[in-house]
Structure 1
Amino acid sequence: MRISQANADDVADLARLLWLDTHDEEPAPRSVDAFAVELAKWWAAHQDSHLAFVARLLRPEIVGMAWVALVPRVPRPGATSRLSADIQSVFVKPNQRGHGIGSALVEAASKHATHLGAFRVTVHSGRKAVPVYERLGFESSRQILQRPPA
């Protein structure tokens, strides 16, 4: 397995993975190809704040992804370049699960965010994935609160 940072050439594969991950939950565009066009436009506009990491096996096909959103924080005296990061859209193809690919992707995205200076790396997880994130060192925090939708 090889983990690397995705680039514009990977958009079609990333779109397919996002499509697979959410096609049962959300209204989808006409086709995965139409979504790939939308994703390419979105990523071009957000490439400074959203990085994707991908997993490949021996073939060039991408079998998993993890995104990290980088959020600049308000400067403070003595800390003028503050940054937070949020792991998003982690997905591994179902036939490749259970081999540590998702964990390796989360580790790569988290380490990169920390290397860039992120003070904190967070993740909003579904219940089934919580134990995985806990094994990777993520902890619940009473200081991070969320406001439910109205």
Structure 2
Amino acid sequence: MSELIMRTARTDDIGQLAEMRYDSTIENHPELTITDEQQRDYTDEMHEFLEEAIGSEHWVVWLAEYGEEIVGHVYLEMVRKVPRPGRTTKPFIYMTNVYTRPQHRGLGIGSRLAQVVEQWARELDHDFIMVWPSGRGEEFYTKNGYSACSVPMELKL
């Protein structure tokens, strides 16, 4: 097998990234029934999202790759905070859509991605990384140095 490479996404990765997001959704929500039309609509929307996101200053997608195959990824949204008097304001990162293909799990790929993201965020002097893990993801994040923080609140619209 090829060497595992960690890198940021390029536009030629869009097809695999869209496929992986679809697979992740179906894996986590097996009760979903997706019609062909819904799948086409999703594919169009995801391609548009990724075309805008990749290379922008607001999103970074880190991925793990063996040869030509993307085996894991993490999406990061850069969030700029409102400045506050008397202190330097640093942006923070919202981490989402963390996924490793099932056949590559248990090999430390997710932890390697988490380490690369942490090092990269520290080098760019971000304030913190925030993630809302699914129930099964909490152990992974705790193992990788994350800790629970105050419960966020939301207003469903």
Could you state the TM-score of these two structures normalised by the residue count of structure 1? 0.84
1:17 lines up with 2:25 in the alignment: no
- Where does residue 84 of structure 1 map in the other structure? 92
One-letter identity of the residue aligned with 1:116: L
The answer to whether the 8 Å contact 1:6/1:53 transfers is yes
Alignment partners' CA distance in 2, 1:135 and 1:3: 20
What does residue 107 of structure 1 align with? 115
Percentage of identical aligned residues:
22
Which residue of structure 2 lines up, in the alignment, with residue 75 of structure 1?
A: 83
Asked if the contact 1:63–1:92 (Cα under 8 Å) also holds between the matched residues in 2, the reply is yes
Q: Residue 125 of structure 1 corresponds to which residue in structure 2? A: 133
Q: Distance in 2 between matches of 1:62 and 1:49?
A: 22
Structure 2 residue 68 is matched with structure 1 residue 60 = yes
**Which residue of structure 1 aligns with residue 149 of structure 2?**
141
Indicate yes or no: 2:45 matched with 1:42. no
Asked if the contact 1:11–1:36 (Cα under 8 Å) also holds between the matched residues in 2, the reply is no
Q: Which amino acid aligns with 1:44?
A: E
Aligned residues: 148
RMSD over equivalenced CA pairs, Å: 2.4
**Please, what TM-score do these two structures have when normalized by structure 2?**
0.81
Preserved CA contact (<8 Å) 1:83 1:119: yes
2:9 matched residue in structure 1: 6
Q: CA deviation at 1:79?
A: 4.3
Q: CA deviation at 1:113?
A: 2.6
Tell me the amino acid that sits aligned with residue 60 of structure 1.
E
Deviations 1:95-145 (A, max 9, x none): 110001111112222322332221011111011111111111100113x52
In 1, distance between residues paired with 2:38 and 2:82?
Answer: 40
